[in-house]
């Protein structure tokens, strides 16, 4: 595998992100991994956890070309605005969090990193600081000047992308337009090809209504919006099946023969995926000009500094980023 450098952001400094970064030092990563974080924060959290981790400072002037040895981490030191107490939010450090994301995202754009992996942030405390922030996805879309992005979660044997994300259920039907469905499907298809190395990905599409509308008796969105849009996309050569009833789509009969599922809304697809692989799933932002993966959980403030955390999702997020970069580069 070609050597490629990656960036890791620890997210909310009072949460479990720094802990996850430090746990990674127990084993040598297959690629050079740069943690963009406060050196002081990582040192203090390592002491709290009783971990002996060598923190190796690095900068854009002297990037490493080999993975850090076991027991050590490469760190691009990014100073905090205020001291951190594990488990206690402090709005003063909101700008620090965004600075780590900016360094990682811009580093990907500039070719310093083959991809970025993100630990969880706390949206509330960033907004309390006076900075409008709706999430990693929107922040990175703005940073990379990307108009449309797609959320996809993946675990072993299942990928689920979403047409709509964080909308009240009463607003979902109106948001599913032919234009939006077409944009999201094209992004999903193109990224499955370019970032996952799938030559002709097969995508299963959920209907919106129970029984996919039951021929119009349980809703007409399938007939009037979804089916015509899918027919036009098939004419472009995109391999689509559906719309299918969501209650039977998520069964081995269908899933064993597909590369991804396209769900119409958040709680249609993600409960199934998280039941199948919570703690071993990864959040992937499609449509960006860069590779970005993330854990599938939150900041877990109550567990920060306790040593009682599971790094499974972070491990999957890292492995997925490495594999996507290898597929994209053809190695």
How do beta strands 72-77 and 282-286 pair? Answer: unpaired
Q: Is the peptide bond before 243 cis (omega within 30 degrees of 0)?
A: yes
Q: How many angstroms separate the CA atoms of 155 and 250, rounded?
A: 14
Is 136 labeled as ligand-binding? yes
Q: Residue 22 phi/psi, 5° resolution? A: -65, -35
For the residues of 138-200, what is the DSSP string, one character each? HHHHHHTT-S--EEEEEETTEEEEESS-S--HHHHHHH--HHHHHHHHHHHHHHHHHTT--SS
* CA distances (Å), origin 238, targets 116, 133, 193, 249: 28, 35, 11, 19
Residue 72 burial (10 A CB sphere; 0-12, 13-18, 19+): middle
Q: Residue 142 phi/psi, 5° resolution? A: -70, -40
Q: Residue 238 phi/psi, 5° resolution? A: -85, 130
Is 292 labeled as ligand-binding? yes
Is 274 labeled as ligand-binding? yes
Is 266 labeled as ligand-binding? yes
Q: How many angstroms separate the CA atoms of 8 and 19, rounded?
A: 13
Element (H, E) at 97: helix 94-109
Positions at the binding site for a divalent metal cation: 166, 211, 266
Positions at the binding site for substrate: 136-137, 274, 283, 292
Positions at the binding site: 136-137, 166, 211, 266, 274, 283, 292
């Amino acid at each position: 595998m070609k050597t490629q450098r990656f960036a890791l952001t620890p997210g909310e400094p009072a949460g479990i992100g720094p802990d996850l970064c430090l746990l990674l030092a127990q084993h040598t990563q297959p690629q050079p991994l740069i943690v963009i974080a406060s050196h002081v924060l990582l040192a203090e959290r390592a002491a709290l956890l009783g971990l002996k981790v060598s923190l190796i400072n690095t900068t854009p002037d002297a990037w490493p070309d080999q993975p850090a040895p076991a027991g050590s981490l490469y760190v691009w030191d990014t100073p905090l605005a205020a001291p951190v107490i594990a488990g206690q939010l402090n709005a003063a450090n909101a700008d620090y969090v965004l600075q780590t994301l900016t360094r990682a995202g811009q580093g990907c754009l500039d070719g310093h990193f083959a991809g970025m992996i993100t630990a969880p942030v706390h949206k509330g405390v960033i907004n309390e600081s006076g900075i409008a922030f709706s999430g990693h996805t929107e922040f990175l879309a703005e940073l990379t000047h990307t108009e449309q992005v797609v959320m996809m979660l993946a675990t072993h044997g299942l990928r689920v992308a979403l047409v709509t994300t964080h909308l009240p259920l009463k607003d979902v039907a109106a948001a599913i337009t032919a234009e939006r469905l077409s944009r999201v499907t094209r992004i999903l298809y193109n990224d499955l090809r370019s970032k996952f190395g799938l030559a002709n990905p097969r995508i299963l599409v959920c209907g919106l209504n129970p029984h996919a509308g039951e021929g119009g008796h349980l809703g007409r969105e399938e007939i009037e919006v979804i089916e015509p849009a899918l027919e036009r996309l098939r004419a472009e050569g995109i391999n689509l099946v559906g719309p299918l009833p969501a209650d039977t789509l998520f069964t081995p009969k269908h899933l064993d023969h597909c590369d991804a599922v396209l769900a119409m809304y958040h709680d249609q697809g993600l409960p199934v995926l998280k039941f199948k692989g919570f703690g071993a799933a990864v959040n992937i932002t499609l449509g960006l000009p860069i590779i970005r993966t993330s854990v599938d959980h939150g900041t877990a403030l109550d567990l920060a500094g306790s040593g009682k955390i599971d790094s499974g999702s972070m491990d999957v997020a890292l492995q997925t980023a490495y594999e996507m970069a290898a597929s994209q580069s053809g190695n």
